Amino acid sequence: MDPPNSTNHSNNLLFSASQSPSLSTTSPTTLSQYENQKRWDWNTFGQYLHNHRPPLSLARSSGAHVLEFLRYLDQFGKTKVHAHPCPFFGHPSPLAPCPLCQAWGSLDALIGRLCAAFEENGGKPDLNPFRARAIRLYLREIRDS
């Protein structure tokens, strides 16, 4: 699967019209940084669903798929912290790769943008996979660790 920053999907419409409309037809240069990031995140999630084996539609995605997506993104995040409990925490030269995860603030903001994008694209709030209880629990666990 391509990393989120790959140019492979930057110009692709990742959700077909039958799944959901695009976020906006406005030129990306006229959108705020938040709106551009929300569009990028939405397209990245769509690419993740497309590349999932088997491929998933947005309508069939769940909180479990969102959790898989968040864990997948751990390898690409800019702000990473040691996953709890990391036996090498605080060691300048660990003997093995440390399990890292994205920082809580980054994940919380990402989920907020994706939640908004889902509903802006016609998704019903009560069916929003980004509002799933499992997501709230995961974010709380990351925050508390």
Q: Is residue 119 part of a domain?
A: yes
Q: Is residue 73 part of a domain?
A: yes
Low-confidence winner among 14-18, 43-47, 55-59 (lowest mean pLDDT): 14-18
As given in the structure block, the two tokens for residue 27 are 């030129």
Look at the block and give the residue holding tokens 């419409």: 13
Q: Is residue 42 part of a domain?
A: yes
Check residue 127 and give its pLDDT: 94
Spatial separation of the C-alpha atoms in residues 22 and 117, rounded to whole Å: 9
How many of the other CB atoms lie within 10 Å of CB of 21? Answer: 13
**The domain containing residue 55 runs over which residues?**
33-89+96-144
Q: Is residue 6 part of a domain?
A: no
For residue 116, how far is the Cα from the chain centroid? 13
Residue 81 one-letter amino acid: V
Cβ pair 60, 129 in contact under 8 A: no
How many of the other CB atoms lie within 10 Å of CB of 69? Answer: 20
Check residue 96 and give its pLDDT: 60
63 pLDDT above the threshold of 50: yes
Label residue 133 by pLDDT band (50, 70, 90): very high
Number of domains, the chain = 1
- Tell me how many degrees the CA angle 122-123-126 measures, rounded to the nearest 5: 140
Q: How confident is the model over 71-125, as pLDDT tens digits? A: 888 777 655 565 656 666 666 665 666 656 677 788 999 999 999 999 999 999 9
58 pLDDT above the threshold of 70: yes
Pairing of strands 100-102, 80-82: antiparallel
Find the mean pLDDT for residues 33-39: 94
Q: Is residue 11 part of a domain?
A: no
Helical H segments across the chain, by residue range? 33-51, 63-73, 104-120, 133-144
60 pLDDT above the threshold of 80: yes
Q: Is residue 74 part of a domain?
A: yes
Q: Is residue 10 part of a domain?
A: no
Q: Is residue 57 part of a domain?
A: yes
Check residue 6 and give its pLDDT: 42
